[in-house]
Chains A and B, each alone.
Chain A
Amino acid sequence: MWQLSAPSSTVANLDANHLLSLSITFSKQDVVQAVSISRNVNFSLDENPIVIVGMSVSGGVHYGIRFTGTTPSGATFDAWREGSRLQHRPGLGTIENVTANLVAETYLANNQLPLPGSKITRLWFYVEATIGTSGDFSLQATSLQAFELKQTTTSSTEISGTFSGIVINLGLPSLSQSIFQAYASYDIRGTSDLRYTPFLVSGTSVLAQGYTYTQNAFTSHQVAVLLPQRVTGFPSILPNANFSSIIISADAGSITHFKIEDLTFKLTSTSDLGTGSVDSNTAQLFMASYLVFLFVTPVAAVILFVKVFKNEN
């Protein structure tokens, strides 16, 4: 049974006959507005940790999906976190298949793996509107399916099938050196909606992240650069805590063919963009001389030059 929660300023109509259809009318307000809807579910994290939700949400609003669960002893836990790609997603007005690895989400939310026998027991959808947004919007959930996590292991550099992610185990213990950048050179093919992000992880720490790629019409080959400065997310696959690996994580669509060509890692020999502080007096002295030599001296020299060589006429 779905339960609807909406502020008084909002009109929300729910039709839950087979597929969920939520119509919302937001009035213009000076605060952020949100409508949420939830229901009980029963997914075993041991057996079916992968959830795929078919969603269609109007453009102009954002939406998100949240899960909570219970351990075998009855304690509740969150299986969602702020900052995850499942939260505050922009509505696109088209059907999207949103995939979530609930074991990974639980780990990221609680910093520990779910206990064996844990279950996901409640599901939330929400639609939110920024300040000043008004009008009619809708959220439709066309499907909700839970799957077991199937892993295919190969020692070959090439693999074909239908995959939501590729994990390349580097066969190394956790990296202790400071990574400067990594390059991954590979061939990749997938469904037409494939969108993926490469990650370099050491245990469950993301060391470096690449750009988000779609398929290239010109070549299936890609040289992806992974940088520590780009780390903003987490792969949808929970990495092995004992190893370092490269993870190609599909944000949308599926990978149908993958072949790794080579990997290059560059480690820093001196500190790079380190965290530290500079004595404020020293900083002020350097800043002052910096501004003088960058702006004052050159501009003064140009002005003097123009004055000195000014045409007599």
Chain B
Amino acid sequence: MALWADYQRIFYGSGILDFKYFPTLPPLYYAQLAIYSFYTLLRIGGLQDPVLFYHSTYAIEGVFLKLPMILADMGVFLLFVRTGRILPAVLYYLNPFMIYLSAAWGTYDSLMIVFLVAGFVALEKGNKPLATLAFTVSGLVKLFGFIPLALIVLDNIARRRFKDISVQFAIVSSSVAMTFAPVILQGGLQTFFSGFSRFVGISTAQGTGWNIVSALQGTQFQAVSPFVWIAYLSIPVFFVLQIRKSSSLLLSVLKASLLGAILLNIFSQAEPQWLSWPIPIALIYASATKRTGLSYYAYSFGAIATFLVMTLTQGSSYILFGLLGGAYLAPLEGFVGALPVYATTTLSLLLLLIGYLYGKPVKFKLEVLALVMIIYAQAYFWFSIIGIQNL
């Protein structure tokens, strides 16, 4: 949040538009610049904005900085409602994880998700150019959005639809050029390359990861785990196998994208907020295939992910009071071995999601929550009490 506030204050205070070092892809910057202008007007009009505890932003300022993400969540809700998906709309909009990410933490995954969902809705209606545009914008917010787009292009290549490919190329290239023009003019492409190289696994910066591979090995990978290629290779291979079996492009892209979101969470240096990516895709897939069990599991997945992320990664003290190191929910947070406990439990959640995706459609049973709690308790025993990772 301090980062978002920093860039907005620099622009509205000094007129400096700093694209060069903005740490995400530029659409978030554009969205926040637009919405923050209303906050600036309020401040000019005499609004007194209090500092809340030790947060790095003022109270109302924080709301405006998170507003693009909150509006994006409302957009997803409306997209679901307009396509007759009332239950998925409710399960998404009232999902604790989406509330936590957008309204509490302030991460911007919802901005990617709203265009991702719009892309799938357009694809469902057979409007491929609109789907291409939506997936491109989604990918320009977070690179994951390019995965369904790449699968559609792959399908067009296989079916030799060169006219469609030309249209898609025109949409993607013009969107990318327009989005990046200000960044290129300010010489910020090297920064983008640094971020891009981290996502695809060619960066040389070492760092710890939240994923199971890194957590259990205690290894510092060079930005991503060396197993990320399993995810990158599996997605197109699975898509080709899937579309040979199914005549539906939508279902094949949905299923492969969902698998991609799961595998990237397992094998790359996934951030905790990436756990939100499978939720909307699972809800659309469940709705299209009438798998209500999957719908309810996607909701539970989000609720459990919220608990894990708020206690084992960010810490409730940081979100509520802007302080690091406080453990107001002790003994649930701040314990030894929290990273492997988090990684083990999220891995079990992701594997269960694969089960709901590939197994026969089953009713959702609350026992699955008990199962995850047992896995969490087991992980807590072995990693926190016994400390087997240190033996």
Using A130-B390, A270-B57, A302-B94 as known contacts, say yes or no to A214 and B204 having CB atoms under 8 A apart: yes
Is A275 interfacial (CB 8 A cutoff)?
Answer: yes
List, in ascending order, chain B residues with CB within 8 A of A294's CB. 96, 99-100, 104, 306, 310
Q: How far is the CA of A264 from the CA of B3 in the complex (A)?
A: 14
Q: Are A301 and B56 in contact (CB under 8 A)?
A: no
B36 smallest CB distance to A (angstroms): 15
Using A287-B316, A295-B303 as known contacts, say yes or no to A278 and B9 having CB atoms under 8 A apart: no
Using A211-B206, A294-B306 as known contacts, say yes or no to A218 and B56 having CB atoms under 8 A apart: no
List, in ascending order, chain B residues with CB within 8 A of A295's CB. 96, 303, 306-307
A283 smallest CB distance to B (angstroms): 6
B170 smallest CB distance to A (angstroms): 28
Using A211-B206, A268-B2, A273-B56 as known contacts, say yes or no to A301 and B94 having CB atoms under 8 A apart: yes
Most B Cβ at <10 Å: residue of A130, A264, A272: A272
Q: Are B205 and A271 in contact (CB under 8 A)?
A: no
User: Range of interface residues on chain B?
Assistant: 35 or more
Is B328 interfacial (CB 8 A cutoff)?
Answer: yes
Neighbour of B316 across the interface among A216, A275, A290, CB < 8 A:
A290
List, in ascending order, chain A residues with CB within 8 A of B329's CB. 287
Q: Are A298 and B96 in contact (CB under 8 A)?
A: yes
Contact surface of A with B, Cβ cutoff 8 Å: 130-132, 180-181, 183, 185, 210-219, 221-225, 264, 266, 268-276, 278, 283-284, 286-287, 290, 294-295, 298-299, 301-302, 305-306, 309
Neighbour of B53 across the interface among A216, A264, A278, CB < 8 A:
A278
For B319, give the chain A residue with the smallest CB separation: A290
A-B contact count (CB 8 A): 119
Q: How far is the CA of A184 from the CA of B5 in the complex (A)?
A: 21
Is B287 interfacial (CB 8 A cutoff)?
Answer: no
List, in ascending order, chain A residues with CB within 8 A of B94's CB. 298-299, 301-302
Q: Mark B39-61, 1 if CB is under 8 A from A, else 0.
A: 00000000000010110111000
Supply 13 A–B pairs (Cβ within 8 Å), ascending by A.
Answer: A183-B21, A212-B206, A216-B204, A217-B202, A264-B20, A272-B322, A273-B54, A273-B318, A275-B325, A283-B320, A294-B310, A301-B90, A305-B90
A105 smallest CB distance to B (angstroms): 23
Is B342 interfacial (CB 8 A cutoff)?
Answer: no
Q: How far is the CA of A290 from the CA of B319 in the complex (A)?
A: 10
Q: How far is the CA of A299 from the CA of B302 in the complex (A)?
A: 11
List, in ascending order, chain B residues with CB within 8 A of A130's CB. 390-391
Question: Which B residues between 294 and 339 are near A, CB-CB below 8 angstroms?
Answer: 299, 303, 306-307, 310, 316, 318-326, 328-329
Contact surface of B with A, Cβ cutoff 8 Å: 2-3, 5-6, 9, 20-21, 23, 51, 53-54, 56-58, 86-87, 90-91, 94-96, 99-100, 104, 190-191, 193-194, 197, 202-207, 220, 222, 299, 303, 306-307, 310, 316, 318-326, 328-329, 390-391
A241 smallest CB distance to B (angstroms): 29
Q: How far is the CA of A275 from the CA of B23 in the complex (A)?
A: 25
Neighbour of B190 across the interface among A211, A223, A276, A290, CB < 8 A:
A223
Q: Are A214 and B222 in contact (CB under 8 A)?
A: yes
Neighbour of B323 across the interface among A273, A284, A299, A305, CB < 8 A:
A273
Neighbour of A286 across the interface among B191, B320, B324, CB < 8 A:
B320
For A302, give the chain B residue with the smallest CB separation: B94
For B56, give the chain A residue with the smallest CB separation: A272
Q: How far is the CA of A30 from the CA of B205 in the complex (A)?
A: 37
For A222, give the chain B residue with the smallest CB separation: B194
B185 smallest CB distance to A (angstroms): 16
Q: Are B91 and A302 in contact (CB under 8 A)?
A: yes
Q: How far is the CA of A212 from the CA of B57 in the complex (A)?
A: 30
List, in ascending order, chain A residues with CB within 8 A of B222's CB. 214
Q: How far is the CA of A299 from the CA of B94 in the complex (A)?
A: 7
Q: Are A274 and B104 in contact (CB under 8 A)?
A: no
List, in ascending order, chain B residues with CB within 8 A of A301's CB. 90, 94
Q: How far is the CA of A290 from the CA of B306 in the complex (A)?
A: 12
Using A212-B205, A287-B329, A295-B96 as known contacts, say yes or no to A221 and B190 having CB atoms under 8 A apart: yes
Q: Are B191 and A273 in contact (CB under 8 A)?
A: no
For A271, give the chain B residue with the smallest CB separation: B54
Q: How far is the CA of A286 from the CA of B325 in the complex (A)?
A: 17
